[in-house]
Amino acid sequence: MCVCTALGALALPSTAHAADTPLRDLAAAKGIHIGNAVAGYKLSGNAQYAAIAGTQFTSLTPENAMKWSSVEPARGSYNWAEADQIVAFAQEHDQQVRGHTLVWHSQNPGWLTSGGFSAAELRAILERHIATEAGRYRGKIAAWDVVNEMFNEDGTYRSSLWYNAMGPGYVADALRWARQADPNAKLYLNDYNVEGINAKSDALYNLVRSLKAQGAPIDGVGLQAHFVLGQVPSTLQANIQRFADLGLDVAITELDVRMQLPATDAKLAQQAADYSAVVKACLAVGRCVGITGWDISDADSWVPDVFPGYGAATMYDANYRPKPAYHAVATALGGGGTTPPPGGACTATYAVANQWGGGFTANVTITCPPGSSLTNWQAAWDFGAGQRLTQAWNAGCRQEGTRVTCSPASWNGSVPSGGSVSFGFNGTWSGSNPVPAVTVS
C-alpha cells in the first residue's frame, strides 16, 4: 500500500536525455545542412521559436517572404523587409539561406496574374523579377529554388502563367537569368511527390538530364518531402541516387510528416521512424547535401489549414517541445539521445509502504509518459539517514556507502510508453527514514 501522502514521494525526471547535442552540430559532423522554414514575424515575436531556429539549424528557408506576392505586392513597389530580416537572422546565427522561390504558379501578386500581359511581356517581367530578387541577395543565398512545382502528377507540365506563355523553355531561361544575377548560388528545381520513383519524378529526371545536356545552369534538385504518416516511399534513396548520378546535388527541402489528428503515441513513433528513414536515405547518398523541415513546430505548420483533420507534422509539438521525430533525427544523425516527449521524460516515485521499529518496506515505480520509453532501466538514489537495503524483489539492487543502484529483473527491463514498472525492497533505519530522490535512466 502506498503511503505517499503520509511519508512523501519524490518524482525526478530522468537525467538520461538532458542537454542533447543540437541537430546543427550533428548534421555538420555528417557534412550536411539541417534547416527549417521560417517566418520573420515569428523570429522577432516568439522567443521559443527564435531560439530553436537559431540554435538547431544550419540553414533557413523563408517560408513565404521571398515569394513574388511578398516582395512585389504592387508592380514596381517592393517590400524586402521580411526577407531581409531572415537573411540577417541567418547571418547572425552563422546559417545559410535557401532562397524560395523565384518562379512558381502560386503566390504571385494580383497585378501579375490578372494583368493581361502578352507572352513577350511576361517573359520580360519574369527576367526582371529574377534579376531584381536574385540580384538583391547576390552572394547571400546558398541555393535558390529557381522554379518550383512545374509538373503535374502524371509528369506533364503544369499549366501556369509561365508555361502557358513561354512553353517548357521557361525553366532553362529562368535558370540562366538566375545564374546571371547570382553566379555563386546553387540553382535548384524543386517539387513535391517526386521523392520516390514515379511518373512525376521521372519527368523531373528527364528534364534535369536534358538541361544538363544543353548546358543550362542546373546544380540541384529539391525534393520537398511533404509526407503522409507511414508513407515515405521505399524508393527514396534510389531516387536521390539517380539524380546524384547525373552530377546534381539533391536536397530534401520541405520535410514534414502529417498524420490524422489526434496524435497518438503509436503515430508519433511511426512519425519518428519516417523522419529517421529520410535522414538515413540522405546520408546514404554523398550528394544529398541537406534536409530542411517545413515549419518549426506543429503550431506553425501549414498542414492543418490545408488538410483539415491532419497535423502534428513537424519535429516539435505546439509547445515547442521536441517530439520523438526530433530525437529520431538526432539519432539518425549520429547523436546519442533517444526518447522523451511529448509527455516528457520517464520518472520514478519512491514510497515507503510499511515501516516498523528498525525496518521498512518501500516500493519504487518507474513511469513513462506517452512518447517516452526505457529499455534496461537503471534506478539510483542515496540514502541520506543511514538506511541500509537488505533485500529487493523485481529488481537487482546493491548498496555501496549511501548509494543504491537497481537494475531490472530479467522480465521487467522495458518500461513502455505510457506504462510503468515497480520493484520493492526491505531496509533498515534508525532515527529517521526520509524519502530519497530517485533518478532513472
What residues are labeled active site? 149, 254
The reply to whether 63 sits near ligand 9MR by the rule CB under 6 A is yes
Closest CA to 349 of 10, 109, 45, 3: 10
Smallest gap from residue 149 Cβ to ligand 9MR (A): 7
Q: Give the position of cell 547525373.
A: 246
DSSP per-residue codes, 80-141:
-HHHHHHHHHHHHTT-EEEEEEEE-SSS--HHHHTS---HHHHHHHHHHHHHHHHHHTTTT-
355 lies in the site for ligand 9MR, by CB under 6 A: no
Per CB under 6 A, the list member of 72, 173, 254, 317 interacting with ligand 9MR is 254
Residues forming beta bridges with residue 426, ordered by sequence position:
361, 391
Q: How many residues does the chain have?
A: 441
Q: Which residue is nearest to ligand 9MR (CB)?
A: 302
Residues with Cβ within 8 Å of residue 13, at least 6 apart in sequence: 344, 345, 346, 347
Does residue 198 bind ligand 9MR (CB under 6 A)? no
SS3 of 189, please? Answer: strand
Tell me whether residue 325 or residue 404 sits nearer to ligand 9MR (CB atom): 325
Whether the CB-CB separation of 217 and 187 falls below 8 Å is answered with yes
Site string for ligand 9MR, 223-252 (x = CB under 6 A): -x----------------------------
Q: What's the CA gap between 389 and 407, in Å, rounded?
A: 14
Rounded least distance, CB 294 to ligand 9MR, Å: 6
Query: Quick check: 271 and 279 in contact, CB under 8 A?
Result: no
141 vs 415 by CB, closer to ligand 9MR: 141
| Cβ distance to ligand 9MR smaller for residue 68 or 177 | 68
44: which 3 cell numbers?
Answer: 522577432
Beta bridge pairs of residue 190: 148, 222
Considering the complex, state which of residue 89 and residue 302 has its C-beta at the smaller distance from ligand 9MR: 302
User: Cβ 226 to ligand 9MR, closest distance in Å?
Assistant: 6
Contact mark string toward ligand 9MR, 93..132, x via CB under 6 A:
-------------xx-------------------------
- 82 is an interface residue for ligand 9MR by CB under 6 A: no
Q: Which is nearer to ligand 9MR, 306 or 385 (CB)?
A: 306
Instruction: Note whether 55 binds ligand 9MR by CB under 6 A.
Output: no
The site for ligand 9MR (CB under 6 A) is made up of: 63-64, 106-107, 148, 192, 224, 254, 302
